[in-house]
Amino acid sequence: MSGMDTSNEILVGVAELKTGKGPQVIKTNLGSCVAVCLYAPAQQAGGMLHFMMAKAPTDVDAKAVKKAKYADTGVDELISQLKGLFGVADGDIQAKIFGGAKVLKEVTHNIGYNNEVAARAILRDRNIPIVSSKTGGERGYKIEFNLGTGKVRCQIFGEEIKEY
Amino acid sequence: MSDQSRINNAITLIARLSIDKSSRTLSKFVRAGARIELERAYVVDVSDATKVIAHGESEVVGALVSLTGDAPFKFLFFVGLKDSFLLADLILRRPLGTTTGFDLYASSAVQEIGNVLATSISNVFATDFQIVMKSTPPMVLHDYAETLFEEYILEAAAEKNELFIIETKFFVVEHNINCHMFIVPLHGSEEVLSSIANRM
Amino acid sequence: MGRRIVVVDDAPIVRLMLKDILQENGYEVVAECSNGNEAVAKFSELKPDLVTMDIIMPEKDGIQSLEEILTIDRSAKVVMVSAVDQRESLMRAIKLGAVDYIVKPFENERVVSAIKNALGE
């Protein structure tokens, strides 16, 4: 499982989560996957989860589950790492969520929307406020999460960069 | 040799047989020599898959095809945006530079090349291994390279944490066009691939 | 006036390629369709001399469209257009009543020869 990356620019792939501190920047690209960016302003520490499905399977050995693939296990793992690595407490954390697009129009089921719903649900259950978000649409996302400021630069394909 | 290694060898064999045919098909389509530049088969963690894919292209056009049947696979063909313009001009026999923006013909050029290449791969299954495959109409995506690849691997990644990927680069010689082709086996193809491996 | 042809393919670039070849050889392309549903509807409406029909298409594929067109008119002339060599599909189409087939990527001469053959020219 991913721990602390000490380089300034941290790349997160599909079904992966990474944590760090300011001035590190965590980057990823999204389609139907959703990125949950958790930030503790007081510690200037945070992490990004890039997950692809809503719920982890319950009929397999928990050790075999790649936690960052799923909203539920991924968010819990990210929270756990922030607490363990940076001493972040429950009330310190805020969230921003991105992605969940339907980039393949021909696909009937809207995985992106389901992922967004799952992210919102798990964050609500964990009492983590979503302070901003940009989700949906039909184009890919490129996001950069600045751990020094907590801001996320988001560029949807073909559009201008916006800050959240 | 483990079962999985043998299956991976079988997939690599299928890819090698497909690539030769695909290269000739692509050459015929674009009416120019297409050289296979690199082919590699590798196992990669799902999380690293999109990181290795971009090849310096930020904006790409890709065609995704599902090959269904006894050995389900996922196929992807993609090129950089500007190369899609050149492909459209080559296929339509228009002066290069005629296509200057991402239009219906640039999109459709990638779509149709993807269609033809995917079908040539399913042909290899049929003629060399007597395995019946069917390809779906290609889905075309114009987006970030990483977004395209994420959508491509999603189905395979849903079942496994590691993916076996066959990657091929085609180079359209005269016109300096780099094309990328990928095949990834899906869950459900193991039995058939195992039987191919047994015959090797 | 040239013989009237409906071109059916989900790829606009293929429709354009075929249209160019057909028009250069004196045929009139009276409609272009991107899927089988459109193809059957246009066939009913326009009663063309010939239809070129792609096999793999969304919504309704070429084989099903061929069947429906032949139900409308048993003597309809349909030339299948296949990606590479989809032997099984082509054999099925010929058995159902398609008069010929062209394999992509196609040569201009082969397209013209298949059309002429189908139209009895």
DSSP state for residue A53 in the 8-state scheme: B
In the numeric block, which tokens belong to residue C115?
A: 């059309």
Q: What is the DSSP annotation of A67-79?
A: GGGBHHHHHHHHH
pLDDT higher at A113 or A7 = A113
Angle of helix C12-24 versus helix C108-119 axis, rounded to 10: 70
Contact yes or no for B122/C88 (Cβ under 8 A)? no
CA C49 to CA B109: how far, in whole Å? 28
With contact defined as 3+ CB pairs under 8 Å, the chains touching C are B
Least confident range of A85-94, A130-139, B160-169, C46-55? B160-169
A120 located within any domain: yes
Provide the pLDDT confidence category of residue B37 given band limits of 50, 70 and 90: confident
- Which of B169, B190, B187 has its CA nearest to residue B178? B169
CATH number at residue A147: 3.30.1330.200
Please list every residue in chain C whose beta carbon sits closer than 8 Å to the beta carbon of residue B112. 11, 13-14, 104
Please list every residue in chain A whose beta carbon sits closer than 8 Å to the beta carbon of residue B146. 28-29, 140, 142
Percent of the residues in chain B that have a pLDDT greater than 90, as a whole number: 40
In which residue are the tokens 């299928």 written? B14
CA B43 to CA B49: how far, in whole Å? 9
CA C79 to CA A89: how far, in whole Å? 70
Give the pLDDT mean for A7-26. Answer: 95
CB contact under 8 A, B111 and C13: yes
Q: Is residue B58 over pLDDT 80?
A: yes
A20 located within any domain: yes
A 100-139 residues inside an 8 A Cβ radius of B: 103-107, 111, 139
Provide the pLDDT confidence category of residue A153 given band limits of 50, 70 and 90: very high
Is the bond leading into B95 cis (omega within 30 degrees of zero)?
Answer: no
Which residues is B34 bridged to in the sheet? Answer: B172
A2 located within any domain: no
Q: What is the DSSP annotation of B88-140?
A: HHHHTTPPTTS--S--HHHHHHHHHHHHHHHHHHHHHHHHHH---EEEPPPEE
pLDDT score of A4:
54
Give the pLDDT mean for C81-107. Answer: 88
Most confident segment among A130-134, B113-117, C106-110? A130-134
- Which of A160, A143, A161 has its CA nearest to residue A152? A143
Please list every residue in chain B whose beta carbon sits closer than 8 Å to the beta carbon of residue C83. 115-116, 118-120, 135
- Which of C45, C49, C16, C55 has its CA nearest to residue C32? C16
A1 located within any domain: no
Count of A-B CB contacts under 8 Å: 77
In which residue are the tokens 């075929």 written? C18
Amino acid at A26: I
- C14 close to B (CB below 8 A): yes
pLDDT in tens, A83-121: 999 999 989 999 999 999 999 987 778 999 999 999 999
CB contact under 8 A, B126 and C88: yes
The CATH class that applies to domain B3-199 reads alpha beta
Across all residues in chain C, what is the average pLDDT? 93
Parallel/antiparallel/unpaired status of strands A34-40 and A130-135 = unpaired
CB contact under 8 A, B29 and C105: yes
Q: Is residue B111 over pLDDT 90?
A: yes
Please list every residue in chain C whose beta carbon sits closer than 8 Å to the beta carbon of residue B69. none
In the numeric block, which tokens belong to residue C43?
A: 């066939």
- Which of B140, B87, B135, B83 has its CA nearest to residue B111? B140
Across all residues in chain B, what is the average pLDDT? 87
- Structural domain including A30 reads 9-163
Each residue of B8-34: b (16+ CB within 10 Å) or e? bbbbebbbebbbebbbebbbbbbebeb
- C1 close to B (CB below 8 A): no
A133 located within any domain: yes
Q: Mark out chain B residues that contact chain A at CB-CB < 8 A.
A: 46-51, 59, 64, 137, 139, 141, 143-144, 146-148, 150-151, 153-154, 157-158, 161
CB contact under 8 A, B49 and A14: yes
Q: Nearest chain B Cα to C54, which residue?
A: B137
Most confident segment among A146-160, B55-69, B111-125, B151-165? A146-160
Q: Is residue C60 over pLDDT 80?
A: yes
To the nearest whole angstrom, how far is the Cα of B111 from the nearest Cα of chain C? 7
CB contact under 8 A, B116 and C86: no
A44 located within any domain: yes
A 51-110 residues inside an 8 A Cβ radius of B: 52-53, 66, 68-69, 103-107
In the numeric block, which tokens belong to residue A20?
A: 């760090």
pLDDT score of C26:
95
Nearest CB to A140 within list B47, B137, B147: B147
pLDDT higher at B139 or B188 = B139
Q: Is residue A127 over pLDDT 70?
A: yes
Torsion sign over Cα B120, B121, B123, B127: positive
Tally of CB atoms within 10 A around C89: 20
CA B143 to CA B61: how far, in whole Å? 7
A119 located within any domain: yes
Please list every residue in chain A whose beta carbon sits closer than 8 Å to the beta carbon of residue B154. 14, 31-33, 52, 111
CB contact under 8 A, B144 and A157: yes
Please list every residue in chain B whose beta carbon sits closer than 8 Å to the beta carbon of residue C56. 115, 119, 135-137
The pTM of the full predicted model, rounded to 2 decimals, is 0.90
B 4-63 residues inside an 8 A Cβ radius of C: 21, 25, 28-29
Q: Is residue A40 over pLDDT 80?
A: yes
CB contact under 8 A, C84 and B136: no
Catalytic residues of A: 33
Each residue of B142-173: b (16+ CB within 10 Å) or e? bbbbbbbbbbbbbebbeebebbbbbbbebbbe
pLDDT score of A119:
98
Q: Nearest chain A Cα to B63, which residue?
A: A104
Contact yes or no for C51/C33 (Cβ under 8 A)? no
- Count how many domains chain A has: 1
Ordered by where they begin, the domains of chain C are: 4-116 (3.40.50.2300)
CB contact under 8 A, C16 and B29: no
